[in-house]
Each structure stands twice: as structure tokens, then as C-alpha cells.
Amino acid sequence: MKNISVNVNAKLSLINKNIFGHFSEHLGRCIYEGIYVGESSSIPNTKGIRDDVADALRQLEVPVLRWPGGCFADEYHWMDGIGKKSGRKKMINTHWGGVTEDNSFGTHEFFDLCELIGCEPYIAGNLGSGTVQEMSQWIEYMTFGGKSPMSDLRKKNGREEPWKLKYFGIGNESWGCGGNMRPQYYADLYRQYQTYCRNYDGNELYKVACGPNADDYNWTEELLKIVKPWHTKAISLHYYTIPTGDWGKKGDAVEFTDEEYYNTIKNAVKIDEIITRHLDIMSAYDPKHEIGLIVDEWGNWFDVEKGTNPGFLYQQNTMRDAVTAAFNLDIFIKHSDRVVMANIAQAVNVLQSVILTEGEKMVKTPTYHVFDLYRPHMEGEKLFICADSSDKDGVPTLSCSASVKDDTVFFTVTNADLNNDEELEVTFGDFMPSKIKAEIITADDIHEHNTFDSSENVTVNKFENFAFNGNKLKIKLPKSSVAGFTIKQ
């Protein structure tokens, strides 16, 4: 029996809903086919955007969507993606399969997508191969309402009113695919580029500087010697979970051993220490904590599915992904006083997707269902939790979070153990639960996943294996499961 104590009176930081954000890149079948099929497609669509996918993302209450990359962002020239589609310039997507990008999905289509989903746009600007003028004009095109060359061009292209744009990243992975820069060089460039990203007509940009790759603490340190709170609102962190730790042979998405499974968790939870250490460095340079940390790319990265284009990064998604998604979200919630956003890579058909598509078919993955289950944590107040630990050869197998909103407590808990159910006794201080609704995501086999022919193998189901007495909640949590409890007094 493990004990968990939730202190309902110890309200900690607000859980920013942007922690449940998503990322969409011009990569493989994420944008094209996955999200955008064009108006002439036989797949039901609105302005070329798939209705089924937009509906599924809207149901998830996706708060924010990052675009157009990733590595693609630093070779994207926005002017190629506006105006009449037949006149749009084509380019080679050199990072992702060398395919021809026809630019039919551009700025206007991205804002249409965000409107359909009901989310905030987060745009990554091109610092790697674009000019200061190009970036500055993009901001003017999107956000300036008065008369100017760029707003006239936007109006000519059918959009009278400027859009509201808050989140704007200046360069992506500038330490790697975004220009292979040294932190000092990038930091100076960042200061220059951001100068010309203006706030027009009351639109206030929330500028994001390219932060570190995983545990590159030197990048954070050197960056923050030069980039100050008056230059940036946040810095980004990218961290991917590779089961084997070997980028050359990452491991299969569906066929994995128990050892690989536990190693995936071991590598996923490393992000906790990584975040902690970056935040410590950030505190030294920004003691008032004015600069936030955005984990703008995270998730499991496996070998691509056999028979698919290696540059398209398509992978299946199993119950293992559900478990690691829950562990990750718990870590972001734990750090929610300073982690202001996190975007899983990527929304559709790429890496740890929440949605997979094949022609007109669409399936929600186990990861989708975890995001769905966790929705009540959005904008809740994180509660102090003290939990016994549980592990398998040193790899944690128990993870949980609790929040409160409008006098309703929401508690999520994951049992990652492959063979053993976990008995839990959860107490809530002087909060006496009277009404509990519980849901669970689980599968007998950790390799279970959803397919286009059998789409409900892993989904959210009602859970009843619990009892409460006074302020105590006793739960028998099945092996390999993620559960959520909505508790009213």
C-alpha cells in the first residue's frame, strides 16, 4: 500500500494551460495530409483544413499551436506562402525527406487553423537563413492595422483586419539545424532581430529566444549573460526521449522489450533534472524570474515505421506513450511556477502524435487520451502532494498531480509497473470527498495501440475500482494505467 497526501489548503502555482500545447511542422504528413488537404479534397474540410482533425484538436482544448517548425522554420520564407496558391513559389524541404514544398499552407491558412481549433498561434521566425527585414515585415504583415506596405499586401490577400499574435520564437535550435551557432553569436543576433519585431496596435509580442538542447547548461548560461528580461519573455528547451539513448538505433515504436520500456521511462523523467538545472542557472541571471521556460519540443522519438519515408518521422503510439506522456505532464505541472508552456512533438503523423491519419481515416492515439484526461488541470491551482515512491530497479513507476479549480479537486495518477497493480490510499486533509468521478486509460498489454481498423483499443473508460471513507480514497490502480479523479466536496 502506498500513501499519497494531497494538501487541499496548500495551493501552489497556477497550472498554465499552455503546458498542454502542441507543435506542427512542415514535416512528413503533419501539415499536408494530416491537417491540410486543400479545398478540392474529397475529405471533408473547411478552407482546406480537415474537419475531423480540427474537431479532435478543438475537443482537446489545445491552448497553443507552434508552427511552421522546427528545423523547417529556419529555411521558411513567409512571403512564399501568401497570395494566390497557383503563384506560390515552391521550395525543397531539405531537412525532411527533400520533398517539394508547394507553400499552399502559409500564414493565412495557419491562422485559419488556429481559429478553427480555438487556440493561440505560436510562430517560429527564421533567424537561421532569413534577414532581419524579412522577420520584421512578417510581424508587420500579421499585426499592423494601419496603412503600410505589408498591411496593404495582407489586405490584398484577403485579410482586412490584422491578426492577434502573442507568441513569437526567434530562431529554432540555433545551436543545431538553425545555424550551428555558438551561444554568444546567437545571443547577439537574437538581440538584433528582436529589436525589429515591433508591437503594433496594442499587439504585444511575447518573444521567445532559442534556449538549450537537453542538458546543454553552457548554452543557457552564455545566452543569459547577453539576453536580458527586456529582450525576451522566455527561452525554449528541447528534449526528446530516446528509449535506447542511441540516436542511431532508437528502438521500435510497437515492438519493445520490458527493458526498453523501463528505459523509456528512465530517459523521459530525466527532463525533471534538466528543467531543474536550467531553472537554477536562469535564477542566477534573472533572480526576479521574469524569463519563463518553454519546453517547445518534447516527446518520444522512435525509429520510423518500417516501409515509411525515413525523413517523415512517422511512428505508432502505444500504451507506453500514454504512460510517458503522463509522467512528462506531471513534471511540467510540478515546475508550473516557471515552465510557462510545453508543446508535444508533433500534433499529427509525426513523432509522439495525438492524431494519426491515413487517407480519409483518422485515429486518436493513447497520447491523445492522456491529454484529454488531464484537461481539468488546465488553469487549476497546483496542490501540494506528498507521495510514497514506487520503482522497478530504480525506475519510478508511480507519478501523480493534483489541482483545484472552482472547489473541485482533480487528481491524476499513473502506475507504470508492467506486472503489478498498485494499492493507494490518498488523503485530502480536511477536504471530505462526497462525489467522485473516475476515468482510466489502460491496456492488458503495454504494446496495445489504436489502428485505423480498431480505433478504440486504448481509450478513456469509466473507472470504479476505488472507495472512499471520510477523507480517505482507496484505489486499486491496475498495472500500466493512467487515471483521473474529479472530486467534489
Residues with a catalytic annotation lie at 173, 297
Contact present, 144 and 162 (Cβ < 8 Å): yes
Tell me whether residue 312 or residue 368 sits nearer to ligand AHR (CB atom): 312
Type of residue found at 266: K
Which residue in 25, 222, 330, 417 binds ligand AHR (CB under 6 A)? 25
Q: How far apart (Å, rounded) are the C-alpha atoms in residues 343 and 221?
A: 23
Alpha carbon 446 to its chain's center: 23
Stretch that binds ligand AHR, among 51-59, 66-74, 153-161, 378-386 (CB under 6 A): 66-74
Q: How far apart (Å, rounded) are the C-alpha atoms in residues 218 and 215?
A: 9
Smallest gap from Cβ 28 to ligand AHR, in A, equals: 9
Tell me whether residue 56 or residue 71 sits nearer to ligand AHR (CB atom): 71
Tell me whether residue 93 or residue 414 sits nearer to ligand AHR (CB atom): 93
Give me the residue whose beta carbon is nearest to ligand AHR: 70
Q: How far apart (Å, rounded) are the C-alpha atoms in residues 52 and 58?
A: 10
Interacting residues of 379 by C-beta distance below 8 A, sequence separation 6+: 14, 15, 16, 17, 405
Q: How far apart (Å, rounded) are the C-alpha atoms in residues 409 and 242?
A: 34
Q: How far apart (Å, rounded) are the C-alpha atoms in residues 451 and 428?
A: 39
Which residue in 33, 75, 173, 422 binds ligand AHR (CB under 6 A)? 173
Type of residue found at 129: S
Cα angle for residues 279, 285, 287 (degrees, 5° grid): 75
Smallest gap from Cβ 315 to ligand AHR, in A, equals: 12
Tell me whether residue 25 or residue 112 sits nearer to ligand AHR (CB atom): 25
Tell me whether residue 128 or residue 376 sits nearer to ligand AHR (CB atom): 128
- Grid coordinates representing 185? 553569436
Examine residue 241 and tell whether it contacts ligand AHR (CB under 6 A).
no
Smallest gap from Cβ 264 to ligand AHR, in A, equals: 17
Interacting residues of 370 by C-beta distance below 8 A, sequence separation 6+: 322, 325, 326, 329, 441, 482
Q: How far apart (Å, rounded) are the C-alpha atoms in residues 341 and 404?
A: 19
3-state secondary structure of 301: coil
- Grid coordinates representing 257? 522489450
Stretch that binds ligand AHR, among 63-71, 107-115, 266-274, 394-402 (CB under 6 A): 63-71
Q: How far apart (Å, rounded) are the C-alpha atoms in residues 385 and 31?
A: 40
216 to each of 270, 278, 293, 405, 466, how far by Cα in Å? 13, 9, 14, 36, 44
Contact present, 200 and 145 (Cβ < 8 Å): yes
Report the chain's terminal Cα–Cα distance, integer Å: 25
Q: Site map for ligand AHR, 316-345, x if CB under 6 A?
A: -----------------------------x
Smallest gap from Cβ 153 to ligand AHR, in A, equals: 28
- Grid coordinates representing 20? 498542454
Query: In 68-134, which ranges are E strands?
Result: 91-93, 99-101, 120-125
**Parallel, antiparallel, or unpaired: how do β-strands 206-209 and 167-170 relate?**
parallel
Alpha carbon 193 to its chain's center: 25
Stretch that binds ligand AHR, among 67-75, 97-105, 189-197, 443-451 (CB under 6 A): 67-75
Q: Site map for ligand AHR, 392-431, x if CB under 6 A?
A: ----------------------------------------
Q: Site map for ligand AHR, 342-361, x if CB under 6 A?
A: ---xx----x----------
Q: Map the footprint of ligand AHR across residues 270-309, applying CB under 6 A.
A: 297
Examine residue 30 and tell whether it contacts ligand AHR (CB under 6 A).
no
Examine residue 69 and tell whether it contacts ligand AHR (CB under 6 A).
yes
Alpha carbon 311 to its chain's center: 21
Tell me whether residue 24 or residue 143 sits nearer to ligand AHR (CB atom): 24
Stretch that binds ligand AHR, among 13-21, 69-77, 129-137, 369-377 (CB under 6 A): 69-77
Say how many residues touch ligand AHR, by CB under 6 A: 10
Tell me whether residue 179 or residue 380 sits nearer to ligand AHR (CB atom): 179
Smallest gap from Cβ 351 to ligand AHR, in A, equals: 6
Contact present, 472 and 426 (Cβ < 8 Å): yes
Tell me whether residue 69 or residue 366 sits nearer to ligand AHR (CB atom): 69
Tell me whether residue 240 or residue 411 sits nearer to ligand AHR (CB atom): 240
Binding site for ligand AHR (CB under 6 A): 25, 69-71, 172-173, 297, 345-346, 351
